[in-house]
Structure 1
Amino acid sequence: MAKTSRAPWKRSNPRKRAGKASKHLSPAQKSAAKARARRAGRRYPNLVDNMRMAAKKTTKKASKKKTSKSKASKSTAKSARKTAKKARKRTAKKKAKSSRKRSASVREKDPRGGLTAAGRKAFARKQGAHLRPGVTKTEAEMTPQEMRRKGSWAVRFYGRAKLPPLVDAKGRPTRHALSAHAWGEPVPKTVAAARRIAAKGERLLARYRRAKAKA
């Protein structure tokens, strides 16, 4: 036959057995225990109602701990959402800024070669450089200063010892090659074509020097 557990009032205080001080009910707990005993028709004080009130206290503490953990978890989740939102905003701002830069760059560069009027203004604003459009006149129509400008450009761009690539991997002219269009010259796709533009530049500079000497 199974051994029946003894009633709590017949057992010794477990806290005393463990060498701990006994805990007492608060006045509010005592009042609640007394009311509970009255409803049940029991005399008070009694161990049953006191134990019930003590158990409620423990349950309340556990509930508070659980609520505290839940609040902390919610707070962490909220903080994580805020951080993620801020990160998304920063990314969106960076993308927008990058997009604006690209669109500005597109507006400033003439797709046929050289810079647009907006591009020259941007250069003046950023670097203080006062760039002028390339000279596209024929040699007969050029002034000595225009000869000097175009000759200097041609030698500087296409007379250097090592030329930058004139075409890309798909065979399309690079920006360096396209700059010839802005100066009224055919876009070079080979080194030989680039050298012809440089030679023309040398001739223009020679004419400029002769004109200057006569003056």
Structure 2
Amino acid sequence: MKICEGAELPWLGQDLVLLPEKAIYWKQQQTLIAADVHLGKSGHFRKAGIAIPKDVAQEDLAVLSDLIAQYHPQQLIFLGDLFHSDMNTDWDWFALWRQQFPQMKIILVKGNHDIIQDSHYHELNIQTPESYRLGPFLMLHHPVTAAKLPSIEGYVLCGHIHPGVRLSGKGRQTVTLPCFTFGLKQAILPSFGRFTGRVAIRHEKDDRVFGVLQNKVIAV
């Protein structure tokens, strides 16, 4: 059995657990938070004739199921880009997955790839707001620009850019890890989906950055 070690992060009077599965568990609200799952991306590429394994979406859903079994969240919040494209066969897998957790509240804060009509999500009892406020946090998909952050009420949790942090070794080796980045007014989550990339981003001096290893989250 794989043993994963999350990073405990007290933040704004709340207790967050940064998970190696690239999600956050918020203890006080019994809430699981994930960004950029990009279900349907593999189906989108297969539809275009590009050979992509068929089980990518199923594996991402299986990881979500394992987290739900471990933490028993009362609600699950997706910070945008839950589904990558228009409806394809991966939607059927998602609908079947949703049926396993009928009592769990699910919220999708819509992202730029969330082009499927809201009515399809509503049929699965999934809310689709443009933003969502809970406790001290304002949940969005896109990061807020530095110029606008001072006027925002609440601490922003967002995704969209698939952040990574580049680490260098003594022998000039480099590796880019997915990462959680917590700034003064905004945190950016790594992309949850397995079939997504990552981009090393510029971090501010006061940012708290946590790199994601296979089974562990580490402060960097």
**The TM-score by the shorter chain falls in which range?**
under 0.3
> Normalization by structure 1: what TM-score?
0.22
- Between Structure 1 and Structure 2, whose CA radius of gyration is higher? 1
Larger helix proportion of the pair: 1
Name which structure has the greater RCO, CA cutoff 8 Å, separation 6+: 2
TM-score scaled by length of structure 2: 0.22
